[in-house]
């Protein structure tokens, strides 16, 4: 691998260290027994703002500070990235204007405002969101932080796997869910740098399997009409992340929503923690492929815990 990636992830980790939590790794004897292997759950649901997104947003925002030409930060998001950028901008002392769709949950809009960011509501379409951001870039001179297709965001997300390899050694595989691919790409760069013998397994819901289809066909196939409970994974893989993922995953494995819900329930019942449906995809992959992982030591990233408790699927 290009050694520069390692240097960039090291720099990112130093840059964001005071703004993030070193999240714990949890284990469960009873889940291990069911799965037939040893599972290490990296709990990004305990991260600041409740999701790994804080790592990438903080790195992207903090590396801009000191540049006097920066008027402020902007992005569009209905969820975790919006909160992460708002909090990172607040900690950096920068203005933030976040474009959010008018149908975003009120509690998320309130959280973004609570971090001191200005919220610009728009129609709930991707076009309206992108237009809103373009207007802020042009009129206010703000810098756009893409949620996943941005090298500084990818390096920031890579600090999660770096921590895993500092917390646990001799891992046979790292299982990561794939949405836009920022966490997956960052995890790959960290694995190549810090634990090159660890296999990398991408995990997707069958109802949003663009990375799997792309990997199988060798072509970048965007996601259309995603349909899955794992709402954090409906996004198409980004342009920067695509080649990194295609060249480095040992496999991409997919699971049904029923398998995702059963794994989610196991995590609530046995680990006693609150997670989003997307987080359960790697465990569902393990349970659906027991022979493949028998006796192995596997790390699984639990990406976040910002779930609407009234909408739990059990």
Return the DSSP state at 166: H
Residue of the chain from 123, 166, 269, 294 that contacts a second copy (CB under 8 A):
269
Instruction: Tell me if residue 53 is catalytic.
Output: yes
Please report whether residue 277 would count as binding a second copy according to CB under 8 A: no
- With CA atoms as reference, report the closest residue to 182 among 56, 41, 98, 24: 56
**DSSP type of residue 270:** I
Residue 202, φ and ψ in degrees, nearest 5: -85, 145
Number of residues that bind a second copy (CB under 8 A): 16
Among 128, 273, 288, 292, binds a second copy (CB under 8 A): 273
Does position 272 interact with a second copy (CB under 8 A)? The reply is: yes
Write down the least CB distance from residue 74 to a second copy, Å.
Answer: 25
The least CB distance from residue 110 to a second copy, in Å, is: 12
Identify the CA nearest to 228 among candidates 257, 253, 252, 255: 257
Stretch that binds a second copy, among 158-166, 218-226, 271-279, 283-291 (CB under 8 A): 271-279
- Rounded to the nearest whole angstrom, what is the least distance from the CB of residue 70 to a second copy in the complex? 27
Binding flag, residue 309, a second copy (CB under 8 A): yes
Instruction: State which H helix or E strand residue 38 sits in.
Output: strand 38-43
Cβ atoms 101, 128 nearer than 8 A: yes
Check 42, 48, 77, 78 and give the catalytic one: 78
> Among the candidate windows 118-126, 170-178, 221-229, 273-281, which touches a second copy by CB under 8 A?
273-281
Q: Binder to a second copy among 6, 38, 45, 74 (CB under 8 A)?
A: 45
Q: Quick one: how far is CA 29 from the chain centroid?
A: 26
Strand partners, 301: 42
| Position 258 contacts a second copy (CB under 8 A) | no
The residue among 123 and 269 lying less far from a second copy, judged by its C-beta, is 269
Q: What is the largest CA-CA distance in the chain?
A: 58
Q: How far is the CB of 26 from a second copy (least distance, A)?
A: 8
Tokens of 263: 């794994």
In angstroms, the CA 282 to CA 238 distance is 20
The only residue of 2, 17, 24, 219 in contact with a second copy, by rule CB under 8 A: 24
Lookup: tokens for 172: 């046979």
By the 8 A CB rule, do 306 and 274 touch? no
**Dist. CA 240–CA 166, nearest whole Å:** 26
Nearer to a second copy, 87 or 245 (CB): 87
Min dist. Cβ of residue 303 to a second copy (A):
12
265 lines the binding site for a second copy (CB under 8 A): yes
Please select the residue that binds a second copy; options are 121, 274, 288, 292, rule is CB under 8 A: 274
Q: Does 144 bind a second copy (CB under 8 A)?
A: no
Edge-to-edge strands of the sheet including 143-144? 118-122, 95-101, 72-76, 143-144
**Looking at the DSSP assignment, which residues form a beta bridge with residue 124?**
none
Strand 251-255 with 143-144, pairing:
unpaired
Work out whether 291 is an interface residue with a second copy (CB under 8 A): no
Contact 99, 72 (CB under 8 A): no
- Does 34 interact with a second copy (rule: CB under 8 A)? no
242 near a second copy (CB under 8 A) = no
Q: What is the CA radius of gyration of the chain?
A: 18
Binding site for a second copy (CB under 8 A): 24, 45-46, 50, 265, 268-269, 272-275, 305, 309-310, 312, 314
| Active centre residues (catalytic) | 53, 78
């Amino acid at each position: 691998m290009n050694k520069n990636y390692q240097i960039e992830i090291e720099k990112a980790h130093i840059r964001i260290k005071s703004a993030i939590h070193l999240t714990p790794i949890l284990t469960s004897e009873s889940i291990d027994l069911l799965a037939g292997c040893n599972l290490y759950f990296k709990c990004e649901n305990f991260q600041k703002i409740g999701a790994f997104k804080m790592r990438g947003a903080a790195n992207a925002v903090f590396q801009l500070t000191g540049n006097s030409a920066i008027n402020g930060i902007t992005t569009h998001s209905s969820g975790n990235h919006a909160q992460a950028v708002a909090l990172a901008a607040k900690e950096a002392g920068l203005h933030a204007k976040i474009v959010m769709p008018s149908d975003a949950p009120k509690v998320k809009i309130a959280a973004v405002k609570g971090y001191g960011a200005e919220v610009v509501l728009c129609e709930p379409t991707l076009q309206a969101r992108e237009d809103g951001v373009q207007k802020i870039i042009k009129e206010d001179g703000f810098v756009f932080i893409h949620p996943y297709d941005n090298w500084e965001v990818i390096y920031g997300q890579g600090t999660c796997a770096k921590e895993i390899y500092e917390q646990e050694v001799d891992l046979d595989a790292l299982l990561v869910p794939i949405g836009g691919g920022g966490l997956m790409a960052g995890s790959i760069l960290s694995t190549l740098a810090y634990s090159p013998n660890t296999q990398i397994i991408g995990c997707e819901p069958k109802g949003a399997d663009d990375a799997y289809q792309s990997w199988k066909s060798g072509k970048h196939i965007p996601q259309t009409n995603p349909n899955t409970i794992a709402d954090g994974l409906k996004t198409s893989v980004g342009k920067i992340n695509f080649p990194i993922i295609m060249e480095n995953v040992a496999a991409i494995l997919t699971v049904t929503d029923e398998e995702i819900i059963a794994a989610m329930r196991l995590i609530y019942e046995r680990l006693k923690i609150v997670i989003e449906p997307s987080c359960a995809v790697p465990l569902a992959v393990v349970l659906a492929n027991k022979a493949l992982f028998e006796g192995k030591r596997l790390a699984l990233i639990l990406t976040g815990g910002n779930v609407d408790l009234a909408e739990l699927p059990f």
